[in-house]
Amino acid sequence: MASPTIIRIGLGHDTHRLGPGTGLVIGGITIPHERRALGHSDADVLLHAITDALLGAAALGDIGELFPDTDPANKGRDSAEMLRLAADRVAAAGWRVVNLDCVIFAQRPKILPHRPRILSRIAEILEIDLAAVWLKAKTGEGVGSIGTEDAIAAECVVLLERIEHA
């Protein structure tokens, strides 16, 4: 009898302040915008949420444990590289990504026009099928720190399955 598939779900959430500057890094691409996300690394809120979702599903810690913001090596760091390193650990622990689904919370800019490039980039970083990644966007309806454009946030859920060994 075939053994049951072992699956794990993971949840990631991240928030960054928005401040003066141009170019918003989201999902591994830079979107033209008159404000940018502030942070120790490149402040890619979406890749940070995905990284935490993956690590959480595999019970392997979180992004702050792997890449402490007290370490100068992580200053201005490419979040795609951090996600890749986290994904390598998850794979080494015997897990494969089934799919992930994400939400960006931003009053502006419009995310949907950039969605195809973001999805491609995430699939490329994680070396998974394009069809296994999805992204939605929501405004803050003009209220709260999202609505006033003081902050941007992202959430991600990921499903992992145990890699079968023959």
- Of 33, 35, 36, 48, the residue at the interface with Zn ion (CB under 5 A) is 48
For residue 67, which amino acid is it?
F
Peptide bond into 20 cis (omega under 30): no
Compute the distance between CA of residue 79 and CA of residue 63 in angstroms, rounded to an integer: 10
Q: How many chain residues touch ligand CDP (CB under 6 A)?
A: 7
Compute the distance between CA of residue 151 and CA of residue 159 in angstroms, rounded to an integer: 27
List the single partner that 138 binds among Zn ion, ligand CDP, none, CB under 5 to 8 Å by kind: ligand CDP
Does 75 interact with ligand CDP (rule: CB under 6 A)?
Answer: no
- Of 23, 69, 93, 110, the residue at the interface with ligand CDP (CB under 6 A) is 110
5 Cβ partners below 8 Å, 6+ apart? 161, 162
User: C-beta of 166: minimal distance to Zn ion in Å?
Assistant: 39
List the single partner that 112 binds among Zn ion, ligand CDP, none, CB under 5 to 8 Å by kind: ligand CDP
Does 99 interact with ligand CDP (rule: CB under 6 A)?
Answer: no
Does 155 interact with Zn ion (rule: CB under 5 A)?
Answer: no
With the C-alpha atoms ordered 117, 121, 124, 128, is the resulting torsion angle positive or negative?
negative
The binding site for ligand CDP (CB under 6 A) comprises 106, 110-112, 137-139
